[in-house]
Structure 1
Amino acid sequence: MTGSAQAQAPTDTSPRTLTRLILLIMAVAAGLSVAGNYFAQPLLGLLQSELHMTTTNATLTVAVAQIGYALGLFFLVPLGDRYSRRGLSAVLLIATGLLLALAGSATNGSVLLAATGLVAVTSVGAQILVPFVAELSTPDSRARNIGIVMAGVLAGGIGGRAFAGIVAEAAGWRAVYWSTAVMLVIVAFVVFRLLPPKDDAQQGNDTSLTSLMRSTVTLLVELPALRRPILAAMLSMASYIIHLTTITLLLDDEPYSWNPAFIGLIGLIGFIGPLSMPMAGRFVDQGHAKTVLVTGLLLSTTAWVVMLPAQSGQIAWLIAGIILINVGHTAMLNAAQSTCYELRPTARSRINAVFMTLFFAGGAAGGAAVSVIWAHSQWVGTCVLGAILAGLGLLVAASFRSARSNE
């Protein structure tokens, strides 16, 4: 980081223009921005048949989206500490819309794969909005407001799958991409029109792009207090991805043998996580970040014990566990993210880039680990692995103190 950037005091002098309408717009924009990354998941069969893709290439659309998102997190999100977040988010929303239109117009698998990867890169506009809402919020409402926008991000991921399946059934898979493209362009203009024109994170920030990227990489060294909340979040995400990956495998096999539509409906239970996130944020704003973090990870750990009987067809236990892990995971995410943002207010975009990149890396590691575990011990081994990872996150969370804590 340059000397001028380091000299800036981490004061909070941001404009107080965050109305309920603006908060809603930011949440909707964030959700729409990431939704396109999940469209291909329920459409793999249609994409194979209509674009003559092999199973391997069709499945690659999911992997390409994850890779593109990781690249966008690292290379684009830090720019929010140098350029106007309003303008940057609007540009990325428009770019995502145009690229979704390209994906919807694809005539072969190669074009779809390329467009999907580029959509994922620009979809990180959602992660520009999260530190933006932190900058615009007063300290006593910051975590709650972050929770509302992050709830939009999570709802976009959950709802994107359901939306794709419903629209594709009614109007074809291309309509999924084209309709979302139109909505994104409209929302981008609303964002640029209604969001505050200037945020203080950029005032006087003449940091070069090279220095900006270098300082992003070194944040974990400069701010040791980042390490524990990020590690707890990585472990939680690994556990959470394991449940997303294996529930489909569980319900597809005996004794359930459910069809994809019913499996998708079970996934909608996950909406309870985003809905509960602002409530967790209120407790964080009251100075109870550590309690929220520990409680969230405790719920996630307990969820795996609760879900264990589901292997014998006891669906009620599975539903209860899904509720617990979604509420616990989103509470953990809000507390960990809010804690990290307070460590250097002038570097919130870079902190978010580091946080989210490692957060999704934890998810990728969990997904890779469970592929091995499932092959050898299926649901029982999955529950043990998930509980161990969430439990380790709980131990990490219990060992640190939040800067804003009243505890």
Structure 2
Amino acid sequence: MPGAPTSAPTPTLDRRLTLLLALACGVAVANIYFPQAVSPLIADSLRITPASAALAVTCAQLGYAAGIFLLVPLGDRLRHRPLACTLLLVTAGGLVLAGTATGLPVLATASALVGAATVVPQILIPMAAGLAAPERRGAVTGTLLSGLIGGILLARTFSGTLGQWYGWRAPYLAAAVLAVLLAAALALLLPRTNPSTDQRYPALLTASLHYLRTEPLLRRSCQYQALVFAAFSAAWTALALHVTGPHFHLGTPAVGLIALVGAGSMFATPAAGRRADRDGPDAVTLRSLLGALAAAALLLTGDLPGTPGLVGLAAGMLLLDVATQSGQVANQARIFALRPEARARLNTAYMTCAFLVGSAGSWLGVRAYTALGWNGVCALVAALGALALLRHLLRPHPDATPPAPPAPVPADRTTTPAARAR
């Protein structure tokens, strides 16, 4: 059949390649999160309010959600190496535009562009899940997510420190250089992979919506992560305002230091992946949701003055990070087992939901902090975690129950048997 995927041998996933992919996930995803630590510097430089400066963070997350929906499905249709490298080069261009912006409109637009293009981790993670043996899929996903977490958390340390020394533009320009270097590394070392479908682009987008409608386990995973990630985004966005505001009177490096403590969560995700392989995703999900509620309670100590308050913030954010990312491992292990030939499209539906609601979480976090202070942010985190836990307790079936055979996707008729086997 012309244009159909070919049945070439599947590349193997060794430890060195796994570590490279984990590093790539961390470097790429950092572009969404490092603006959180420098938003107070942006406000001072551009002479805008802190809430307006936080718009750069919100636009990056909205752009990321749009990129996941519009671009990640191409991971099932195109070869991974040229797709990932092209997106990284576009990311570099957006970072340069943001780093040279002289006003909020240009910065917000560039942030949205960066967010849309820096979806490389959501292309690499389903690829790695397909290359891994089924009994190691959770562990491999956990390893890549540990790299992603390192990028999320260390990005704030990187940008907060660099921004304090050289201004808020320096992190954007340095990140552009890193994106170019990462594109070169992936061009040389990423294995050649084959598409799993030859669907046309509109059909790819339709398939993601179809799976969201017909796969109950996908919908449940989306609900878990959307609520917990909204709590995560609200807490981190408000944290920069709290630490640099009148309560502590500290600079942006303090935000980076708290993020550095939170980077300890990257060591928890491989363990969560192994536990998901052994006990099933629901066992990990329950622990992660209880951890999110405990984190909300611990974060209340962040309203104490001086060192006790800072220690409470660091401990609470570490626990919230562990809960969020362990839940991510469980959710992706659950959805990647549903349809091997459509992992990118399943991940598209899952991550789009997570980041759309996460973007709303950033917005709500700023509003809660402005209206009610840090305790209001903690109440928001607790409410979102409680909703996710309630959804888990009311789930109709455990993961061990085999799902009903899914309805076929009419637009995917051109997918070859060999591609489905992959």
- C-alpha contact (below 8 Å) 2:164/2:251 kept by paired residues: no
For 1:162, the aligned partner's letter is T
User: What's the counterpart of residue 186 of structure 2?
Assistant: 191
**d(CA) in 2 for partners of 1:378 and 1:283?**
37
For 2:88, the aligned partner's letter is L
* TM-score, with length taken from structure 1: 0.85
User: What's the counterpart of residue 230 of structure 2?
Assistant: 238
- C-alpha contact (below 8 Å) 2:76/2:344 kept by paired residues: yes
Task: Trace 1:125-144 onto structure 2 (pairs within 5 A).
Answer: 125-144=120-139
Measure how far apart 1:196 and its partner are: 1.7
- Which SS does the other structure have where 2:134 is aligned? coil
Bigger shift: 317-326 or 76-85? 317-326
269, 278, 290: which one aligns with 2:270? 278
User: What's the counterpart of residue 124 of structure 1?
Assistant: 119
Task: Trace 1:220-231 onto structure 2 (pairs within 5 A).
Answer: 220-231=212-223
User: What's the counterpart of residue 155 of structure 2?
Assistant: 160
User: What's the counterpart of residue 338 of structure 1?
Assistant: 333
379, 389, 393: which one aligns with 2:384? 389
CA distance 1:57–1:88, change in 2 (3 Å): same
Measure how far apart 1:380 and its partner are: 3.8
- C-alpha contact (below 8 Å) 2:26/2:151 kept by paired residues: yes
Q: Does 1:247 align with 2:242?
A: no
**d(CA) in 2 for partners of 1:325 and 1:180?**
26
Give deviations 1:220-241, integer Å, cap 9, x for gaps: 2121221112111112112222
Measure how far apart 1:298 and its partner are: 0.8
Give deviations 1:22-44, integer Å, cap 9, x for gaps: 11221222222222233444444
User: What's the counterpart of residue 71 of structure 1?
Assistant: 66
315, 318, 321: which one aligns with 2:316? 321
Measure how far apart 1:128 and its partner are: 0.7
Task: Trace 1:88-127 onto structure 2 (pairs within 5 A).
Answer: 88-106=83-101, 111-127=106-122
**d(CA) in 2 for partners of 1:14 and 1:250?**
53
Measure how far apart 1:265 and its partner are: 1.5
Measure how far apart 1:117 and its partner are: 2.4
- C-alpha contact (below 8 Å) 1:150/1:274 kept by paired residues: yes
Q: Does 1:304 align with 2:299?
A: no
User: What's the counterpart of residue 151 of structure 1?
Assistant: 146
Measure how far apart 1:337 and its partner are: 1.4
User: What's the counterpart of residue 265 of structure 1?
Assistant: 257
Q: Does 1:364 align with 2:356?
A: no
CA distance 1:64–1:161, change in 2 (3 Å): same
- C-alpha contact (below 8 Å) 1:303/1:325 kept by paired residues: yes
Q: What is the root-mean-square deviation in Å for CA atoms of aligned residues?
A: 3.0
72, 81, 87: which one aligns with 2:82? 87
- Which SS does the other structure have where 2:270 is aligned? helix
**d(CA) in 2 for partners of 1:120 and 1:230?**
20
User: What's the counterpart of residue 29 of structure 1?
Assistant: 24
Q: Does 1:217 align with 2:209?
A: yes
User: What's the counterpart of residue 281 of structure 2?
Assistant: 289
- Which SS does the other structure have where 1:198 is aligned? coil
CA distance 1:146–1:172, change in 2 (3 Å): same
For 2:227, the aligned partner's letter is L
Q: Does 1:402 align with 2:399?
A: yes
CA distance 1:117–1:193, change in 2 (3 Å): same
CA distance 1:254–1:404, change in 2 (3 Å): farther
For 2:297, the aligned partner's letter is V
**Structure 2 unaligned residues grouped into runs of 5+:** 403-422
Give deviations 1:259-295, integer Å, cap 9, x for gaps: 4332332232221222211111111122432111101
**d(CA) in 2 for partners of 1:59 and 1:388?**
22
- C-alpha contact (below 8 Å) 2:212/2:218 kept by paired residues: yes
**d(CA) in 1 for partners of 2:167 and 2:376?**
39
Count of equivalent residues: 392
For 1:34, the aligned partner's letter is V
Give deviations 1:301-353, integer Å, cap 9, x for gaps: 12222333443344344433223222112111110111011111111111111
CA distance 1:100–1:308, change in 2 (3 Å): closer
User: What's the counterpart of residue 208 of structure 1?
Assistant: 200
CA distance 1:401–1:87, change in 2 (3 Å): farther
**d(CA) in 1 for partners of 2:93 and 2:241?**
35
For 1:234, the aligned partner's letter is A
- Which SS does the other structure have where 2:335 is aligned? helix
**d(CA) in 2 for partners of 1:388 and 1:40?**
26
- Which SS does the other structure have where 1:141 is aligned? helix
- C-alpha contact (below 8 Å) 2:91/2:114 kept by paired residues: yes
